[in-house]
Amino acid sequence: MRVVYREDQQQREHEVLSEEAAFADGTEGRRSSSEPDALRTDYQRDRDKILHSKSFRRLSHKTQVFLASEGDHFRTRLTHTLEVAQIARTITRALGLNEDLTEAISLGHDLGHTPFGHTGEAALAACLARHKGLAPGTPEAAALYRHNEQSVRVVERIENGGAGLNLTFEVRDGILNHTGDLQAETCEGRIVGTADRIAYVNHDIDDAIRAGILREADLPDTTHRVLGANHSARIETLVTDMVRTSAETGDIAMSPEVWDAMMELRAFLFENVYTAP
């Protein structure tokens, strides 16, 4: 039995992965220099740092949408994170990109989320607004607390007794730019941004149906026609379409029809679940 050292794995990346992949031996590095690990690449090391952090463990007690105490099967922020990682790794593997980087970004992307879901985020933004003399609820006030920025703050300044985790640039960039119109520099980071949407749109529907708030028949007709008739069919359609479209275009993308259907479903959730009484 032969030991596969870090150098062997780095060489294997160049032999196996696409030229668009972020190679571990090509990282822009860490803020503080550190000795390389004998067995793990830098991205594998970052994944493990996040996995063993206190902030990652705390995700198990944070609300996704529905309170976990009301049912064992509702998602928490931790199970959401794991679903994002699974979806992102599937897409990454199919495109010949770097799974280790994708997984590290996925595991760290929501470390800065508050308890109580987006309600907690709004509450903290309101507190910060009052502290700065701004009116709570305004766009300026809402911008004071963004979970992606807090996630980076967690890994840079809060974890490890204030020393941070000293992650690579590519992982920090993917964590910061996974949401909204932001776009990560790496293909792997951009995959996580879309995998996040695929995960929460679908599992929040599943949880809403379980909670008795929605029925499958309530979903927009476009959803069933374009994406599929149930939870697993929708995820398969979204993942397959993203892989195929990305391979054809040379960028991380979905076809317009499938992307629009997912965005329609997301808007439906905001109206009927996230902001509904």
Q: Does pLDDT of 98 surpass 90?
A: yes
Query: What is the residue extent of each domain of the chain?
Result: 40-274
CB 204 within 8 A of CB 269: yes
With b meaning 16 or more CB within 10 Å and e meaning fewer, what string describes 235-251?
Answer: bebbbebbbebbeeeee
Q: What is the mean pLDDT of residues 107-133?
A: 87
Predicted pLDDT of residue 70: 60
> Could you report the per-residue pLDDT of 63-84, keeping only the tens digit for each?
666 655 565 677 788 999 999 9
Higher-pLDDT residue of 93 and 181 is: 93
pTM for the predicted model, two decimal places: 0.93
Predicted pLDDT of residue 185: 97
Q: What is the mean pLDDT of residues 199-214?
A: 88
Predicted pLDDT of residue 24: 98
Nearest to 146 by CA among 173, 170, 124, 169: 124
Q: Which CATH class is domain 40-274?
A: mainly alpha
**89 vs 67: CA distance, rounded Å:** 27
Predicted pLDDT of residue 111: 95
With b meaning 16 or more CB within 10 Å and e meaning fewer, what string describes 7-43?
Answer: eebbeebeeebeebbbebeebeebeeeeeeeeebbbb
- Average pLDDT, rounded, for the chain: 92
Predicted pLDDT of residue 267: 93
What confidence tier does 91 reach under pLDDT thresholds 50, 70, 90? very high
CB 81 within 8 A of CB 230: no
**170 vs 67: CA distance, rounded Å:** 33
**260 vs 132: CA distance, rounded Å:** 38
> Could you report the per-residue pLDDT of 240-257, keeping only the tens digit for each?
999 999 999 999 999 999
Q: Does pLDDT of 54 surpass 80?
A: yes
User: In the chain, where does DSSP find H-type helix?
Assistant: 6-16, 42-51, 54-58, 77-94, 99-108, 117-132, 139-142, 147-153, 169-176, 187-210, 221-222, 231-249, 256-269
Higher-pLDDT residue of 19 and 135 is: 19
Q: Which residues contact 51 (CB under 8 A, 6 or more apart)?
A: 107
* C-alpha R_g of the chain: 19
Predicted pLDDT of residue 145: 87
Q: How many CB atoms lie within 10 A of CB 152?
A: 21
